[in-house]
Amino acid sequence: MSSDTVSAPSGHDRSTTEPDSPSESAATASAPALDATSEPDIEADLDAESAEPEPEPAEPDPSLLETDPEVADAVIDADTADEIADPKVDPATDDAPQDAAPTVADRHDGTEQVPDTSLLQTYSAFLPAASAVDTAALFRPVVDEPAEMTAPDVSVTSLPQAFVADAVPADETHVLVLDVITHREVKPNPVRSVVLGVLGLFGFDPKATGPAPNPLVPVLDAVWGLYRRIETGVANVLERAGFSATTVTTTYVTTLITVTTEQANDLLGAPREIVVGYSEELDTWFLVDPNRGISIYTAVTAAGSDGLQYPVDPPGEFVIRVAGGQWDPSAVSAQANMVVVYTYYDSTLGYPSYDGAAAPIGVTVVSDVLNNAYWYRGEEIFVFGHDFEAALDIVGHEFTHAVIDKVVVGQHGRILGQDVESRALEEAYADILGSLIEGKQDEQRWLIAEDYGCSSPRAGTRCAIRNMADPASLNGFAHYSQFNTSAREHRNSTIFSHAAYRMMTDARTADVSDDVWAQVFYQSLYGLTPGASFRQARAAVLTAARDIGLTDSEQQAIVDAFDDVGIIGVNTGLIAV
């Protein structure tokens, strides 16, 4: 274990009270505070579709096979009967979390005025004898010595602020950052010198410990405390005005790990190969994959203003194993499935990580209190509850949401889903690519989330939440004439994804492989803008298909599929797009 201190550029520090965007500011107002120091860190839109978690049914309820479990749990909207049967879906929320998440004191927020070295002792929780990990951690493999690490960009304060910029051979030693502690100290100033000078006349020494030398000292202590609060307030104002009034110090708590692989059972009981980092110093294994930049965390949750559960102090704590211990099957599913998704995007689509630039991937597995999964835009982590991590298509679905965030606009906070239809379109893309990544060829191919524990987690009861082949079987729509602006986007999404099913199962496209379909849909994203309609996406898909080299007959099958579901294009000449 080592602790290295470097100075962070002051520009990297972000005040907890200083939202850096209007949307964040607005969200701040609605976010519930878990405590006085909480810092809402949110953006994007809010979708309150997710509901209060409900007790699990004692036994499988057939109705759960027909409606999305989340919907079943959803608060009924008296105005729209639609909502009651709305298949929830996405696991979803991808759209939701951003705004409603509760946040707690961020240890990286730089508000501490005095370095608290006791925080450094938190790593003792990693010792084998400990039953729990008590360190929110950041993972950051580097090649250089820790002391040479540059400070993380704290504009994304709670991210696993790791980056895997360079390919590092898997057998090399990596630095695992267990914690990053940022301290902000008001710079020395003339006023402070004067105050200290005056107080010193009465025997006050700010560094003194032990019994007070005279009865005045407690009073002077109070005066000094009051001055420091005023000084901090003034410094905050100056910082906001663009003046440099504080010094930021960042301390990294690190340990060295060597990378190895193990086999462990996932939630489905299947043996999976996992990548782990072993710290000899702590005799502990961490579920981290430095070469892909994937870290698996676990966190407790708290309800946001939308009722959805959010990780407290995201991304949470590293999932670990100690000597003689077992890996959590949820965490095994999370890593193994994320590796599959990562590899698919990287190898088949030429897009490393969710930003196309090898961004570190944080995956937080939470308890089944969260009957959902989502791409947490505000923190840029993936959150899975209720065994959703067991479903490869859902992991691909959430990952695709993140990809869309980056591809469609390339600007954080502006996404494809701007209204009911574009949000549905985003869900459809997430399902289409998620199912292609999953790659099943049997009767489950067109089902979404069929491997998640919908009813009784870990008891083997699993069921799907959407069906691209037969949307109505899971309360989805299959034709644009059914589009309902009052319905959840997931329910409308199957209009578009059903068209995908139809084109992929058309006899004329028998020679188009799943990988080519994935390329068509992925590439078509580059033809979309925020707020895109189904119709615009139809044109983008056809353009991508043509560019990728699908034949006229294959393109016609795409046209017919969209026509069949009522997503009608315009005839531009040779072929309707």
- Quick check: 371 and 455 in contact, CB under 8 A? no
Q: How far is the CB of 422 from Zn ion (least distance, A)?
A: 13
Which of helix, strand or coil describes residue 107? coil
Stretch that binds Zn ion, among 53-61, 340-348, 425-433, 521-529 (CB under 5 A): 425-433
The CB density around residue 348, as the number of other CB atoms within 10 Å, is 16
Residue 487 burial by Cβ neighbours in a 10 Å radius (0-12, 13-18, 19+): buried
Nearer residue to Zn ion within complex by CB, 92 or 104: 92
Tokens coding 16: 């907890």
Which of helix, strand or coil describes residue 309? strand
Nearer residue to Zn ion within complex by CB, 94 or 506: 94
Nearer residue to Zn ion within complex by CB, 320 or 465: 465
Number of shown-chain residues binding Zn ion (CB under 5 A): 5
Nearer residue to Zn ion within complex by CB, 252 or 354: 354
Q: How far is the CB of 374 from Zn ion (least distance, A)?
A: 7
The CB density around residue 248, as the number of other CB atoms within 10 Å, is 19
Q: Which of 46, 92, 181, 544 binds Zn ion (CB under 5 A)?
A: 92
Q: Using CA of residue 492, residue 494, residue 497, residue 501, what is the dihedral sign?
A: negative
Nearer residue to Zn ion within complex by CB, 24 or 427: 427
Tokens coding 556: 């016609």
Q: How far is the CB of 533 from Zn ion (least distance, A)?
A: 18
Q: How far is the CB of 125 from Zn ion (least distance, A)?
A: 35
Stretch that binds Zn ion, among 154-162, 409-417, 428-436, 569-577 (CB under 5 A): 428-436
The CB density around residue 568, as the number of other CB atoms within 10 Å, is 14
Q: How far is the CB of 73 from Zn ion (least distance, A)?
A: 17
Q: How far is the CB of 55 from Zn ion (least distance, A)?
A: 25
**Whose CB is nearest to Zn ion?**
90
- Site string (95-134) toward Zn ion, x via CB under 5 A: ----------------------------------------
Stretch that binds Zn ion, among 47-55, 88-96, 448-456, 461-469 (CB under 5 A): 88-96
Which of helix, strand or coil describes residue 176? strand
68 lies in the binding site for Zn ion (CB under 5 A): no
The CB density around residue 557, as the number of other CB atoms within 10 Å, is 22
Strand partners, 364: 297, 383
94 lies in the binding site for Zn ion (CB under 5 A): yes
44 lies in the binding site for Zn ion (CB under 5 A): no
Q: SS3 string of 465-483?
A: CEECCCHHHHCCCCCHHHC
90 lies in the binding site for Zn ion (CB under 5 A): yes
- The Cα–Cα gap between 338 and 344 comes to 10
430 lies in the binding site for Zn ion (CB under 5 A): yes
- Quick check: 54 and 391 in contact, CB under 8 A? no
- The Cα–Cα gap between 487 and 85 comes to 9
Nearer residue to Zn ion within complex by CB, 93 or 509: 93
- The Cα–Cα gap between 379 and 138 comes to 13
Nearer residue to Zn ion within complex by CB, 381 or 558: 381
Which residue in the block uniquely carries the two structure tokens 């790990």?
257
Q: How far is the CB of 427 from Zn ion (least distance, A)?
A: 5
Nearer residue to Zn ion within complex by CB, 94 or 231: 94
Q: How far is the CB of 94 from Zn ion (least distance, A)?
A: 4
How long a stretch of residues is the chain? 577
Nearer residue to Zn ion within complex by CB, 8 or 373: 373
Nearer residue to Zn ion within complex by CB, 91 or 315: 91
Distance of CA 339 to the CA centre of its chain: 15
- Quick check: 162 and 139 in contact, CB under 8 A? yes
- Site string (369-408) toward Zn ion, x via CB under 5 A: ----------------------------------------
Report the interface residues with Zn ion, using CB under 5 A.
90, 92, 94, 427, 430
